[in-house]
């Protein structure tokens, strides 16, 4: 769910740029280090960015119809870590604004925060946490992708509520109102995205597990165990 161009009034759109800035700077710093140390990851990062863009521009099979695009950033965060994903998210959001007319330029700061920073951080946290506790991998990936998607929309509602607080009940009442109205499309969407990303993960493990091992997403022993239990 992107906030459209011109929707956020004046103090807020600048504020979200400022809030997003430290995360993007960390991401840029990590990117710079990648460019210097492990040059061979750059083309892979580029195709991953393109992949996130294409995935998020595909129409999801959805129950409710409108705005049914996956965010794809959950998968990015699991694979590349949250900060580099925030840079990918920034680039993808600029392209979405320019090529697909989703989102906008002044609202870019707010959208980067909800889609590129908040969601991926949560997805990454859930994935690493779930792996540590030894939760079933499909459940972990499902939770990471679905909750990241949900969290993105919760943050968006919060951003809108801050900008347009209700007359009675203030920010909280307005947050509930935005949250409820977006929940109609976003909750089924988050579940669908969770299922799909889990299945995508399954297919990747089945065909090219070496990619995941190389990115240190899974250890070789984990891959063997998963493939063993499948067979």
Query: Where in 132-161 is the site for another protein (CB under 8 A)?
Result: 160
Is 73 a binding residue for another protein by CB under 8 A? The answer is no
Smallest distance from another protein to CB 133, Å: 25
Q: Residue 99 or residue 129: which is nearer to another protein going by CB? A: 99
Unique residue bearing structure tokens 């929940």:
183
Please give the C-alpha separations between residue 107 and each of 111, 160, 179, in angstroms, as whole numbers. Answer: 6, 11, 19
- Cα–Cα distance measured from residue 53 to residue 58, given in angstroms and rounded to the nearest whole number: 9
Choice from 17, 19, 26, 106 touching another protein (CB under 8 A)? 106
Q: Which among 204, 215, 55 is positioned nearest to 124, based on CA atoms? A: 215
Binding letters toward another protein, positions 51-70, x by CB under 8 A: x-xxx-xxxxx-x--xx---
Q: Are 175 and 161 in contact (CB under 8 A)?
A: yes
Q: Residue 46 or residue 132: which is nearer to another protein going by CB? A: 46
Is 9 a binding residue for another protein by CB under 8 A? The answer is yes
Q: Residue 134 or residue 196: which is nearer to another protein going by CB? A: 196
How many binding residues for another protein (CB under 8 A)?
A: 80
* 15-44 residues near another protein, rule: CB under 8 A: 28, 31-32, 35-36, 39-40, 42-44
Smallest distance from another protein to CB 122, Å: 20
Binding letters toward another protein, positions 166-205, x by CB under 8 A: xxx----xx--xx--xx---------x--xxx-xxxxxx-
Q: Residue 134 or residue 230: which is nearer to another protein going by CB? A: 230
Please give the C-alpha separations between residue 27 and each of 34, 71, 86, 178, 205, in angstroms, as whole numbers. Answer: 10, 19, 7, 30, 27
Choice from 21, 22, 101, 225 touching another protein (CB under 8 A)? 101
Q: Residue 58 or residue 129: which is nearer to another protein going by CB? A: 58
- Cα–Cα distance measured from residue 170 to residue 124, given in angstroms and rounded to the nearest whole number: 32
Q: Note the Cα 159 to chain centre separation in Å.
A: 17
**DSSP H stretches of helix in 164-219:** 170-207, 209-214
Is 131 a binding residue for another protein by CB under 8 A? The answer is no
* DSSP percent split of the chain into helix, strand, coil, nearest 5: 80, 0, 20
Q: Between vectors from CA 83 to CA 97 and to CA 226, what angle results, nearest 5°?
A: 105
């Amino acid at each position: 769910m992107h906030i459209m161009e011109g929707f956020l009034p004046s103090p807020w759109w600048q504020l979200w740029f400022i809030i997003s800035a430290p995360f993007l700077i960390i991401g840029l710093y990590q990117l710079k280090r990648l460019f210097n140390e492990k040059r061979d990851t750059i083309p892979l990062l580029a195709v991953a960015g393109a992949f996130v863009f294409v995935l998020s521009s595909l129409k999801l099979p959805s129950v409710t119809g409108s705005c049914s695009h996956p965010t794809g950033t959950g998968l990015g965060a699991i694979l590349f870590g949250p900060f580099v994903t925030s840079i990918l998210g920034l680039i993808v959001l600029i392209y979405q604004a320019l090529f697909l007319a989703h989102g906008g330029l002044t609202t870019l700061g707010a959208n980067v925060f909800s889609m590129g920073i908040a969601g991926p951080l949560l997805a990454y946290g859930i994935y690493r946490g779930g792996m540590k506790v030894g939760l079933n991998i499909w459940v972990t990936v499902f939770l990471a992708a679905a909750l990241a998607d949900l969290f993105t929309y919760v943050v968006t509602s919060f951003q809108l509520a801050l900008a347009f607080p209700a007359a009675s009940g203030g920010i909280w009442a307005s947050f509930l109102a935005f949250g409820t109205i977006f929940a109609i499309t976003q909750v089924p969407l988050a579940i669908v995205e969770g299922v799909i990303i889990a299945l995508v993960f399954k297919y990747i493990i089945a065909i090219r597990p070496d990619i995941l091992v190389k990115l240190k997403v899974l250890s070789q022993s984990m891959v063997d165990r998963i493939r063993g239990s499948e067979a």
